[in-house]
Amino acid sequence: MFNLTTADLNKKIVSFADGPASFNAEAKTAGYDVTSLDIVYQFSTAEIKGRINETKEIVLEQTRRNAENYNWHEIKDITELESIRMGAMETFLQDYDQGKREKRYLIHEFPYQTPFAENHFDLGLCSHFLFLYPGLGCSFHLETLEEMIRICQEVRVSPLVDLDGTRPEFFQRLMEELGERYTVAVCQTDYAFLKSENSYLSIMKAE
């Protein structure tokens, strides 16, 4: 999804709006340094587990309705997708309490400023948050991306489309504004679960 190389994985990474994903837990097991930020980390393990169970059917039904928007090559069908997603969330839940104690899961709400100094992290990743909800608007996206890049050397964001597979109308304006201060590029990736998306946005500071 983000063309992560071994060199990338060995960087100091922050994962924005990481939610109940298994990335941090798996990275910890593999010996990598990942910090996750999300508003949902204000809740306990039991509360997040309850919310996952409550929303599971809704999310699956949404995917079922939009099934033609996805490539069913690597993941065969909705049943396999459900099992992969629930497995990932279970890995997260198993790791969550310890990860909170180790400050790997931190509560944060964008677009507010994070507590980190400039360039605290080498690489920031953001999946299924920005661009997925274009209703948040251009200013929200710009302020959030500005804060993300303030604390990182590079930020990668994917997907760049909403649930209908459409790029928000403000995408070009955002690229131009960020392009005045940073190197911005839309990079191709091999990961293509969404038919309309096989790319991520890279925003990079000069060395």
Q: Which is nearer to ligand SAM, 106 or 186 (CB)?
A: 106
Instruction: Render 95-151 in DSSP notation, one character per residue.
Output: HHHHHHHTT-EEE--TTSPPSPPTT-EEEEEEESBTBT-GGGHHHHHHHHHHHHHHT
**18 forms part of the interface with ligand SAM (CB under 6 A):** yes
Site for ligand SAM, residues 91 to 150, rule: CB under 6 A: 108-110, 127-129
Of 142, 149, 144, 95, the closest CA to residue 123 belongs to: 149
CB of 185 to ligand SAM, least distance (A): 21
* CA dihedral angle for residue 85, residue 42, residue 40, residue 58, rounded to 10 degrees: 70
Q: Which is nearer to ligand SAM, 164 or 183 (CB)?
A: 164
Q: Residue of minimal CB distance from ligand SAM? A: 19
**40 forms part of the interface with ligand SAM (CB under 6 A):** yes
φ, ψ dihedrals at 64, nearest 5°: -60, -45
Q: Exactly one of 38, 95, 147, 197 binds ligand SAM (CB under 6 A); which one? A: 38
**Chain contacts with ligand SAM (rule: CB under 6 A):** 17-19, 21, 38-40, 108-110, 127-129
